[in-house]
Structure 1
Amino acid sequence: MSGLPADGPGLIRGETGTQRLLGYVLDVRGGHGGSARCHMAITADHTNRHGVLHGGITTSILDNAMGATASLTADETGKSPFLTISMTVNFLSPGFPGQTIVATGRKTGGGRSTVFIDGVLEAEDGTLIATATGVFRKVPSHRLKEGA
C-alpha cells in the first residue's frame, strides 16, 4: 500500500468535520469482503508530544472504519447509521509522520441491529499498529436529528 487511494466510486472524502480535520479517506467499495477501510497519511499534526501517532487519532480512525463496516452490513453504500456502543483498543506499535496507515473493520458476529466488529490498523510496511473490538448499534435516521 502506498499513499492515499485515488478518487472513485465508494471513496468518501471530506464528508464530516472529523474526516476533514484528520484528512482520512473512507473506502466503502466492494471487494473488501464487506469491510470498510480508512486511509490516512500521518503528519506532524497527528502526533503526540513524543512525535508518534496520537492514541486518540488511532482510536478515531479505527472507530470510523469499524462503524462503516457495521453500516455495510445493512446498506452497500455504507451510509446506514450505526453508533458505537463500546470499543476496546490495543496499542501495539507506534505510527510515524510520513507513513500512510489503513484501518480495516471486519464483522465477527451479531444480528441486524447490533453487530460485533474487529479492527486492525496497519502501516504501509505491514506493521500492526493497533487492534480493536467494538459493538455497534443501528440507529433509525430520524433519531439522529436534533430534538428527536
Structure 2
Amino acid sequence: MNDARAHGVTGTARLLGYTIDLAPEGATVSMAVTEDHTNRQGNLHGGLIATLLDTAMGATASHLRGDDGRVPFLTLSLTVNFLAPAPRGRVSATGRITGGGHKTVFVEATARAGDGTPVAHAVGTFKRAAG
C-alpha cells in the first residue's frame, strides 16, 4: 500500500470528498454533502452513508489494531440501520471498537448530520489483512 492510501487518500475519498481524522479512540470520516451525493428526496444517498460508516469502522480497526494504520482490515460483515435523513451540509461517522482480538475486530459507528442528529448506526466485523 502506498503512503497516500495508508492515510485515507484513496480514489473513493477523492470521488466522494471525504477526509479521515484519527484520534486515540478511533477514526472519524467527514464529508460535505452536495447535490451530487443526494437521492431523489434531496438527502444523502443511503449507500453513501453506508460507505462512510464502513470506512470509519475499517479505519478505526486499522488504526487501533493494525499497527497504527499500516495493516488494513477487510470488512467481513456490515449491518446498517438508518435513523433519519441526512440533508445537504456536513455529515460525519465515528468508529469505536467493541470487541475482538488481533485478527478479527468488532466495530460500531454512528453517522451524524452537521447538527449532531444521528442519521445511521452500523456494526461490523473486520479481519486483519494478510501480509
Q: How high is the TM-score relative to the length of structure 1? A: 0.80
User: Judging changes above 3 Å, is the alpha-carbon distance between structure 1 residues 27 and 76 closer, same or farther for their aligned structure 2 residues?
Assistant: farther
SS in 2 for 1:94: coil
How many pairs were matched up?
125
SS in 2 for 1:40: strand
Greater Cα radius of gyration, structure 1 or 2: 1
Residue 80 of structure 1 corresponds to 71
Residue 23 of structure 1 corresponds to 17
Work out whether residues 93 and 111 of structure 2, in 8 Å CA contact, stay in contact via their aligned partners in 1.
yes
Cα distance, 1:76 vs structure 2: 5.4
Are 1:101 and 2:91 an aligned pair?
A: yes
SS in 2 for 1:64: helix
- Structure 1, unpaired ranges of 5+: 1-11, 142-148
Which structure shows the higher strand fraction?
2
1:127 equivalent among 105, 117, 121: 117
Are 1:41 and 2:51 an aligned pair?
A: no
Counterpart-to-counterpart distance in 2, 1:89 and 1:74: 23
Work out whether residues 68 and 79 of structure 1, in 8 Å CA contact, stay in contact via their aligned partners in 2.
no
Are 1:89 and 2:80 an aligned pair?
A: yes
Counterpart-to-counterpart distance in 2, 1:93 and 1:79: 34
Q: Which amino acid aligns with 2:121?
A: T
SS in 2 for 1:80: coil
Counterpart-to-counterpart distance in 2, 1:80 and 1:118: 19
Counterpart-to-counterpart distance in 2, 1:27 and 1:79: 15
1:64 equivalent among 55, 79, 82: 55
Q: How high is the TM-score relative to the length of structure 2? A: 0.89
Cα distance, 1:72 vs structure 2: 1.6
Which structure shows the higher helix fraction?
2
Give me the identity figure in percent: 50
Are 1:136 and 2:126 an aligned pair?
A: yes
